[in-house]
Structure 1
Amino acid sequence: MKKITLLLALIAVTYAKAQGLNSILVAGVEDAEQFANSYLAPVSEASIYGISNGWYNTADAKPLGGFEISVILNSTGFKNKDDKKAFLLDPADYENLDFVENPGQARLVATGLGDIEGVEAFVEDDSGLFREEFELPTGLSAEDFNFVPSGYIQASVGLVKGLEVKARFLPKLKFDDAKIGLFGAGLQYDFTKMLPADKILPVAISAVIGYTNLNGEYDFTELSIIDGSDQRVEASFNTWNFSAVVSTRNIPVINFYGGIGYITGKSDIDFLGTYEANGPFFSETVVDPFSVSQNASGVSANLGTKLKLGFFRINAEYNISEFSTFTFGINFGFR
């Protein structure tokens, strides 16, 4: 079976194996859509949590004109999330899709995060004259990935007293037949700046709001077993992070911070292009066959530390949520 760079081409600057996902289309649009929903949901959820992080490394907002430019790297783990790495596929729930081994019996198959390999499926018409066999796709774990990576450049600038604006950006990257880009914007307000003695307080308390959009595209026309043109997947992830943050301050070299917040987001993945008749379950030309969407939301909490050496700073934090994330930042700034 062919390997295609689908998943992480849409969610990060690296590759993942999603072999055979386009093959499911031979079972018909309805079966393909149902399978894609179950297969892509966990990796979409992990991506939503991953790209929502990294909005702050202190609660102490920058003064007017203060700035910081950062390179943020996230690693969203799923090693122990067996419930996210597989789903139960019951042929009774599908119109045409069935297993070559023990047909008609439900079994676990890999999601986009999973590692179940060698599962052969088939579609066949009532007459038995048409039969197509193919291997169901595996996921990231089969490629020894136990995390979903993400990264971007971020800038923060201090404005009026206590207010800081932020922006994040990943220029549109192209590799093979994939493209990916990211942008976002955020605000941080330091409430302790309202107090007369804010400069001598040992801690700062802030509120942070951040919006992130990740979009990607993968063209699999040359790999598809169904004739057609401009066959591709386009994905868009939109997330919000609402957090309350507290940190130490006025310590010359190292400070500590933590926050509690709420993450919410949505992914939209569109299967686009023209797919021409190929078998009894795909009996006419179809344009832009289907889309799948996933919503995710939940409470998150993090702890981190920031080391400051003149203009150069580094920070590291661990975020606990439905999909926990380790974040590392390299920062250059002036307060």
Structure 2
Amino acid sequence: MLLSWGSLAMAQSNINDLFAAGLSDAERFTTAYLAPVSEAAIFNMSNGWYNSGDAKPLGGFEISLIGNITGFKNKDDKKAFTLNTADYENLQFVDGSTSKSVSTALGDIEGVRVFVEAEIAPGVTERAEFELPSGLSSEGINFVPSGYLQASVGLIKGLEVKARFLPKINTDDVSISLLGGGLQYDFTKALPADKLLPVAISAVIGYTSLNGEYDFTDTDVIAGENQRIDTQFNTWNFSAVVSTKMPVINFYGGLGYVTGKSETDVLGTYIVRQGPFQTTYEDPFSITEKVSGVTANIGTKLKLGFFRINVDYNISEFSTLTAGINFGFR
């Protein structure tokens, strides 16, 4: 996730130029531009909550290093959106078009130039021209990654509690941290013939919260200070899980529902110094994006004493490959 956020910061370093078109146009464009990457992140971080339907017994535990990769290479509908100038107050295409596809934060469309122009005094026209931002694909990145530590502990019969954690990581432009918690209840543990059943069936609930921030780069059109985007993602995963109960190699699958929300604050001081709408904006706007959808996955887990590894593939609006390295007891 840190990799994608850092590359995204470079790819969209001129998104703040949109303030030259006025606050309304800047907010409309930024909302459409960021929506797909927010959706991808929500589906990505909702994964990895289980690698078996067989809940751990009392005192059993497992510590895992989990990684998720959510690809979007072939999702053209998420890499671009149609910008119709009729929906904007001031934004116009330099080539005279009134509507065309432009890049989202996942895309790779480059070189799209726009302008704003207005009469600031009788007979005096002011104009500002700039290029729209591209996205992750323009940096050669076609996936959204994430990684974190996760711990699971068995409690009373059939109940397992989980927690996930990524300590705050800071670079020059990007900071990110993650927390989460979950529960798994194994229904088959309540059956008299539990030990004899070849499969285990569980319900899993998991909550994840991620906080990220990245800074903008000053451009020729917009000056200012402390320009940044601060985003919080909150997701819930509700799943039904079934797995085999063999000693070494097991297979598991799940059907679930993911719901989440991202809240993005565009913060800092933005001083428009070119064009007809020269003004200063402080912490100009916030964007809320809600996402939900059905998911299904299938995976396998190899257990060799204390050491276990698992891999699964999740199918959803943004499909995700998950891998885990696990160390456990019982």
Shorter-chain TM-score bucket reads: over 0.9
CA distance in 1, matches of 2:85, 2:218: 29
Cα distance in 1 for partners of 2:6, 2:132 equals 22
Q: Among the aligned pairs, what percent are the same residue?
A: 66
Matched, 1:187 2:179: no
Change (3 A) 1:285 1:18: closer
Q: Which residue of 1 aligns with 2:7?
A: 15
CA RMSD of aligned residues (A): 1.7
Q: Does 1:148 align with 2:144?
A: yes
Indicate the residue corresponding to 1:78 in structure 2.
72
Q: 1:310 aligns with which of 301, 305, 310?
A: 305
Q: CA deviation at 1:285?
A: 2.8
User: Which of 102, 108, 111 in structure 1 is aligned with 2:101?
Assistant: 108
Any gaps of 5 or more consecutive residues in structure 2?
A: none
What is the match of residue 202 of structure 2? 206
Change (3 A) 1:206 1:128: farther
In the alignment, which residue of structure 2 is the partner of 1:258?
253
Contact 1:308 1:314 (8 Å CA) reproduced:
yes
Change (3 A) 1:14 1:278: closer
Q: Distance in 2 between matches of 1:12 and 1:198?
A: 44
Structure 1 residues 11-20 or 60-69, which shifts more?
A: 11-20
Displacement of 1:278: 2.8
Match of 2:243 in 1: 247
Aligned residues between the structures: 325
TM-score, with length taken from structure 2 = 0.94
Displacement, 1:196?
1.4
2:132 corresponds to which residue?
136
Asked if the contact 1:22/1:224 (under 8 Å) is kept, the reply is no
Q: Do residues 329 (structure 1) and 324 (structure 2) align?
A: yes
Deviation (angstroms), 1:296 = 0.7
Gaps of 5+ in 1: 1-7
Q: Distance in 2 between matches of 1:305 and 1:207?
A: 18
Residues 271 and 196 of structure 1, relative CA distance in 2, 3 Å threshold: same
- More deviation, 278-287/238-247: 278-287
Output the TM-score relative to the length of structure 1: 0.93
Residue from 33, 38, 47 that aligns with 1:53? 47
Q: 2:37 aligns with which of 33, 39, 43?
A: 43
Alignment-derived partner of residue 89 in structure 1: 83
More strand by share: 2
What code does the residue aligned with 1:125 have?
A: A
* Contact 1:28/1:281, CA 8 A, preserved across alignment: no
Name segments (4+ residues, structure 1) moved above 6 Å: none
> Contact 1:121–1:134 at 8 Å: present in 2 too?
yes
Q: 1:117 aligns with which of 92, 105, 110?
A: 110
